[in-house]
Amino acid sequence: MAVGYIKGVQAQDVAACVEPFAANNQGWARNTIDVEVDEHALREIYFPAFEAAVKEEGVLTFMGAYNRLRGQHASHNDYFLNQVLTKEWGLRGLVVSEWDATHDAREAALNGLDLEMGPERRAYDDFFLARQFRELLDAGVATEAQLDEKVRRILRVMFETRAFDGRSPGSINTKAHQDVARAPVVRSS
């Protein structure tokens, strides 16, 4: 199902976003839960649909989950994002965090997070991938090559979705949308 959905969405010059990656089983305490799951279960239960999204359809964006995996937050988890998603499966698009699910500037900078979705109550410069990332660059902890890769991934998605080609804007809650929503469902026998 995921592959077909992604194909349909991305055919409209819209980046599909697969989420939440991964091992996200509960909403309660989702920011503090630390999932301990063995590799066999990850590969057989959690990863197949995510892997197909990358390998079969080339999904353009991934969103990290709120939970931790083996002690590290999913939105900036080296194993999830660098080792599996990028190196093993070959994701060419970008990785975005869940809203307010980035917790460490160093891990975000080094472990594959490209775009941080932070809380509205904070100034942009207070996001982990803003001033703190710049400080990591200045200190030599993060490299310009890592910054370039994040920019490359973001721009790749923008080019793939024709953001620079004058694509027609979408629409929200139009009369046509309302008519479709109110139309009776026709079921075949």
**Alpha carbons 16 and 58: distance in angstroms, whole number:** 10
What is the tens place of the pLDDT at every residue in 74-116? 999 999 999 999 999 999 999 999 999 999 999 999 999 999 9
> Which residue do the tokens 């469902």 mark?
185
Among the listed residues 139, 60, 128, the one whose alpha carbon sits nearest the alpha carbon of residue 93: 60
Average pLDDT, the chain: 93
pTM value?
A: 0.86
Q: Token pair for residue 133?
A: 């990332």
Instruction: Spell out the alpha helix ranges (H) of the chain.
Output: 2-10, 39-41, 48-55, 105-110, 131-139, 144-160, 175-182
Tell me the one-letter amino acid at 55: K
CB 47, CB 84: distance < 8 Å: yes
Contacts of 31 (CB under 8 A, 6+ apart): 66, 67, 101
Q: State the distance between the two ends of the chain, measured CA to CA, in whole angstroms.
A: 23
CATH class of segment(s) 2-164: alpha beta
Three-state DSSP class for residue 18: strand
pLDDT higher than threshold 90 for residue 123:
no
Cross-strand partners of 68 = 34, 73
Q: Pick 119 or 41 by higher pLDDT.
A: 41
Tell me the one-letter amino acid at 119: P
What is the tens place of the pLDDT at every residue in 32-74? 889 999 999 999 999 999 999 999 999 999 999 999 999 999 9
Mean predicted confidence (pLDDT) in 109-129: 90
**Alpha carbons 185 and 99: distance in angstroms, whole number:** 35
The conformation of residue 130, written as its DSSP 8-state character, comes to T
Q: Token pair for residue 119?
A: 């809380």
Tell me the domain boundaries of the chain: 2-164
